[in-house]
């Protein structure tokens, strides 16, 4: 199934559940905050586990590919490439958490906590790093490095 279809279905389901449970009631605020916080903790814990597994594997397999934008040839290792992708994923997730927390704090929106909890968990589960290092899938096919659709900053992933 296509990722936009899955995420669209999850958003619709979260909105329906949110309306059925009446997330706008003040007595639901604490529960939604706890659910959101636990989801974010689990996501960052999974990123930490991925980091530990990458470090333990220390895969020095050389990865050579051509950058699609600049046509430069990039030479790196699986270890460096995975660490770069993990760092980028963690930064992106932290920014989204900060934005969500700000919107909730500033305007008191509760549904955004439910939506973000569902969507962030769904998104992380679709990331190649999660599939390889947490689910234990082989890096073959769509999971073969370099991953499709990735814009890579060549200075950060060059072989050291």
- Express each pLDDT in 23-70 by its tens digit: 778 888 898 899 999 999 999 999 999 999 999 999 999 999 887 778
- pLDDT tens track for 57-75: 999 999 998 877 788 888 9
Average of per-residue pLDDT across 129-133: 96
Phi, psi of 93 (to 5 degrees): -65, -40
Contact status, residue 67 vs residue 154, Cβ threshold 8 Å? yes
pLDDT band for position 94 (50/70/90)? very high
- pLDDT at position 150: 58
Strands 73-77 and 62-66: antiparallel
- How high does pLDDT run on average in the chain? 87
From CA 14, how far away is CA 118, in angstroms rounded?
A: 7
pTM for this model (two decimals): 0.85
Average of per-residue pLDDT across 128-132: 96
Q: Is 140 helix (H, G, I), strand (E, B) or coil?
A: coil
Low-confidence winner among 15-19, 45-49, 72-76, 108-112 (lowest mean pLDDT): 15-19
Contact status, residue 58 vs residue 146, Cβ threshold 8 Å? no
Sorted by sequence, the CB contacts under 8 Å of residue 66 that are 6+ apart come out as: 72, 73, 74
pLDDT band for position 99 (50/70/90)? very high
Q: Is 64 helix (H, G, I), strand (E, B) or coil?
A: strand
Q: Is 16 helix (H, G, I), strand (E, B) or coil?
A: helix
CA atoms within 13 A on the CB side of 97: 17
Percent of the chain with pLDDT over 70: 90
Phi, psi of 65 (to 5 degrees): -155, 170
Cross-strand pairs, 75: 64
């Amino acid at each position: 199934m296509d990722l936009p279809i899955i995420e669209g279905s999850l958003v619709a389901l979260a909105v329906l559940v949110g309306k059925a449970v009446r997330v706008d009631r003040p007595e639901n605020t604490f529960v939604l905050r706890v659910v959101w916080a636990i989801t974010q903790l689990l996501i960052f814990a999974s990123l930490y586990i991925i980091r530990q597994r990458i470090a333990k594997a220390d895969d020095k397999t050389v990865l050579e590919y051509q950058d699609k934008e600049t046509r430069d040839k990039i030479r790196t290792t699986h270890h460096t490439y995975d660490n770069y992708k993990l760092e980028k994923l963690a930064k992106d997730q932290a920014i989204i958490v900060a934005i969500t927390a700000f919107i909730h704090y500033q305007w008191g929106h509760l549904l955004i906590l439910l939506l973000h909890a569902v969507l962030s968990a769904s998104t992380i589960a679709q990331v190649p790093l999660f599939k390889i290092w947490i689910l234990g899938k082989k890096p073959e096919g769509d999971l073969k490095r370099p991953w499709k659709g990735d814009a890579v900053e060549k200075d950060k992933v060059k072989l050291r």
